[in-house]
Structure 1
Amino acid sequence: MNDASTTEKAAGTGAPVPAAIVAVTSWLLAAAAVVVFVAARPGLDSNQLFFLVDVVGAAVYGTVAGVVLARRVHPVPILLGVASIGVGTAALSYSWTELASVRPELPLGFIAPLQNTAWIPGTLALFLVVPWLIRDQATDTVTRIGVVTGTAVTMWFFWARTYTEIQDIWFVGPVVAAGFATAGHVAWRWRRGPVDERAGMGWLALGSALMAAAYIPLAVPGVPWMLTPLLHLATQAFYPVAILAVVLRQRLWGLDLAVSRAALAGSLAAVLAAGYVVVAVAVSLILPTDNSVVAQAVAATAVALAVQPVRSSLTHRVHRLVYGDGADPARAVRILGRHFAGAESPEVLLGELAAGIGAALRLESVAVRRGNEVIARWGEPSGPVEEVPLRDGALAVTAPPGETLGTRSRGALSELASVIEAGLVVLRSAEELETARRRLTDARLEERRTIRRELHDGLGPSLAGVRLGLQGARNLIDTDSAAAGDLVDELLRELDRQVDGVRELSRDLLPPVLDELGLTPALSELAANHARGGFHVELDADIPADMAEPLAVAAYGIASEAILNARRHSGAGGCRVRIAGDGNVLALDIFDEGTGLGSDTRAGVGTQSMRERARGAGGTLRIDSGEYRGTVVRARLPWCGR
């Protein structure tokens, strides 16, 4: 929802004093009706169940009207207030009439007819008019037609039932038809309306349909006397919850209240209980019990068999409605697990998992955080954030507007967090793989730079010089053959040096002896080559024979570069190489007793190459000053056997 509409929603003002008057009046009417009813002590009949419906309606609708009206003046809370006061007045009228029947001295006058008329305008407007008005946008033509039709049907029902003797079907039928038409339009808004206006509309569509269906028995002769009031009692317990679900989840008219999901589930549980009673009464009325114990047992068994499947099915649907797939965490995990096979990347995977959890648990927003970085987000939070800690971060969620997370939702969230942790592991593995790939690319690039430098700075100029020398020898052949011969001999010696240089470069990159005999002989050959140049290398090697080739190549590259750095920069006459493996870590140390590290020493190409080789093997490398003097290169590489 955009900022403009949000601002428009928040701009409304409430009427706290009238709201309090409506709520208090409704509760006083309900309480007074109960007190008078108890004093009258009437016998059991259907009217008493309708009386119970009116008492419940006065208390529930009065509370809802007061809550909404205190925050926004709107036709919806006003109609809710009219309904609550109307049914409260009808309840008090009925109980007063019952009391007057046992105490003839009490006046009746205009009070007695109110039990049949006071409830009509507000109660019918609840499901014939209110659903059309629950919106934040301007009304369109269809909405205006719906409001006019609902109002006309309400007025027709009131006049026909109060002042005529026509059959019930002629004034009940239009109510049922208009009620189902209203429920159908709400259902259409739920499925096809603007996305930001769909939240909670499924509840309102169901509530409107139930309210309309509750009036069908009034026009059907022969219906058991308890069925009609019980249906009204069940729908009256559910419908205000449906209204609040829309108002609060969409934050209509600037309302922002927190409603516990447990409270919603409890309200629906009351509907289930009423439904249970309805089925039980219907079955007991249909089955003849007489006074036979066997007949009564058959009736009780029939009731249990009829009610239990209904109760189980409705309970499951209620949990799915309130908690989403979180009502069955195992099912939710299976659904989320399907994302692992089809995700294009770990980032996309985490986004899909966050969206899956949000949809499964009916949340407002879900964010996956690693450290201080949000790496996946679904929805936009607008309320208090609750977090579930993960191994490498946290899962932050917000409940839909007007709701709070219950114990069941928190438990399901904790179980589903393991799926997010698996996604984070996939992401971390992908990042490590990408890092290793970049390091390998960098190492290859550095080796190519080394080869290019040796060819460009060494072999290339030397070959160019040999060519010039040969040209000079050719010019001297006719005039000074002896000088030409000496020049050719010098050129041959230069070619021999370049051939040796190429061989040394080849050996430094990957000496043949490393492939054929292993790391220790390769290091021995390296030490011998440096010794011929006047730089003494002392080798102390204790390496198991089953070292893998990648580890041997990395260790040789580090040792070769460290020895070359010591030869070029330390000023010492030699160095010591100590290498040993214990089955877990390969330890490689190169010591020299030269000038050591200066304060202005900067890492060069050789140092970077050593670090890259160590990281590429999954290890570490440190370069420190020696204990007394010189430099120490320490590499620790994870052991990797064949």
Structure 2
Amino acid sequence: MDKIRVYQLLIGVFFAMTAVLYINCIPSYYETLVTQCIPDGCGLSVPALTLDPEGLSNKETAVLLVLVDCLFTAVFYASAAILLWKGPREPMGLTAALAMVAFGTSFPSLVMVGSPDASFALGWFHGVSAIGWISLSLFCLLFPDGRFVPSWTRYPLLLIVIVDLVNFFYGGNMWADLELSVYLQFAWFMSTTVLLIYAQIYRFRRMSTPVQRQQTKWVVYGVTVSFAGFIVISILFDPGIYNGQATSFIYLNAVLHLFLSAIPVTLTLAVLRRRLWNINPLVNRTLLYGALSVCVGLLYAGVVFYLGRLFESWNRFVISLIATGLVAAAFGPIKEWLQLRVNRLLKGRHDDPYSVLLELGSQLMQPLPPAEMLSAVARKVKEALRLPYAGIAIEVEGQETIIAESGDRREGLELNAFPIIYRGRTLGTLYAANRSSGETFSAEDHIFLEVLLRHAGPLVNNADMLQGMRKLAEDLQESREKLVLAREEERRRIRNNLHDELAPKLAALALNVATARKLVNKDPQTAGTMLDELRLDIRSTVEDIRSLVSDLRPPALDQLGLVGAIRARMEEMAKPANRIAGETGGRTLQFEIEAPVIPSLRAAVEVAAYRIITESMVNVVKHAEATRCKVRLSIEEENRLAVEITDNGIGPGIGEAGRSATGGIGLLSMRERAAEIGGECGIERHASGGTRIWAVLPLQG
């Protein structure tokens, strides 16, 4: 047998034994009321009562008092039986059943007055009383998930257990035997009551799920109504107000028990969790009629007191009749006024949208930007309907974006979407959260929002236009930045082209001119031939300058392809260099190229590879003093073009930032060209001499 079954069995046995002892006390309670309590009083349980000769008799008064107590206990016993029958597997249900049995038995004066002194039944009922307060406190602190929330509430519960156990050992007379002040007793009662209500409210606001929140509403409502009624009726029992009449005592006692009967009803509904009715209308009516009763009572008492002092000679019946007429005339207006106040308290100003619009209009007359105006609308919706959150969203770049909100948009909120329509077009959406989980908007709420959103349409339209203008301004600024960046990139590219393309050609022209100048006297025919070639080279250089100016890529790439353009460039650079070497007795330079069948490449890849190779060959001719320069092209597995230029010369010195000690910005230019298309470029010096320049260029963007 599991623990739940054991607890259920123990509570069932406790229930049965308590009920038997309770029923057994009824006859003796009746006899004690007739013979002792009504004539002479039984302490605080039943004071001495004054019987009206024309009213109820001694025995009739006793019967009514017994009936009130038995009906009160029957309500608690019925709640306990339902909880044990319908929810036997729920620990909270068992705790609630135990509390209902114990509290329903011990609170009425029947068991304490009807039990003989020093009897087993009296001791049992003292224990039942302690169990009642402890179990009720435990239920309020643990409900609905069985955890202490906040966690520190377990320590006040320990103090409640200690006080109730001490009171049990003192036979229920701890406060009198220890001569403790009545005010201390009242403070203890109030502090424990506030603690139980606070624990449920804290759990409701911080920890509860939607279903648990609905359950918590019932518990808080029942405990609040019961203890508020208990305090009010206890005040009415004061000797300055209570006249000691038996009829008045019966009425007050019945009303007190009626208020406390809210506890078993609401706890049963909360624990069973089946078809939880919306508690808000019940809270509304309770607040309304409670406040209405207070107002009517005060008005009647005030009128009677005033007229009684003003017309002391008048008959009291006439004064009461006048007061009754005034109360009847004022009843309707007072009820309407209170109903409006209660509705505003619970649901805000949903019944008066036009006054809200007037207030909103006065706010919007201030010089505010459109976004701030929408924030004012969201804030007014939240305040007027007493919602936890309200926000306005519009579409920005095809995506819905919240541009104004009020409140905390936390997880678990149930949001309702209301379209904002202007001139037949949906401009945005108002998102409004339910006041609490499971509570839907009423018809009046929908009417309020419909009226308000009609006037919010132009504001959303202005905000939408502002967002569009702001986006256009951002796009314009971005376009300007791109234009500036593109211009600077073009300038850098032209600089690189001038350095990599035009400068080598002009250097070659200078070499040809120098060579032709030396041959003018020695070999005029050869000099003439060179000058003719030089003229052609000058024309070609002019064409290349025009191409650079027009931002065209090297024409040789389109005419000969990458490999063919590199071969042509090799021949163009080798001729003057070898002629000078033949005249001066130096070493000739041989260019080689190793390239497989290269597929069609992107224009950017072709230009970058061509520029890197030609710049490298220029450096070999000008600085390396090499006799051999080899260019190698290959396609790697990663779909990349590998470029390698090697020579057997002395190699340039490598300075800071990758600059050639003799070549200036040559190496930096090659690296920039590779980086522009997502590639890499570097230079290495061999220990045995010579230089290797490599580059890896992606074939796809």
Give TM-score, length-normalised by structure 2.
0.41
The structure showing larger relative contact order (alpha-carbon pairs under 8 Å, at least 6 residues apart) is 1
Give TM-score, length-normalised by structure 1.
0.44
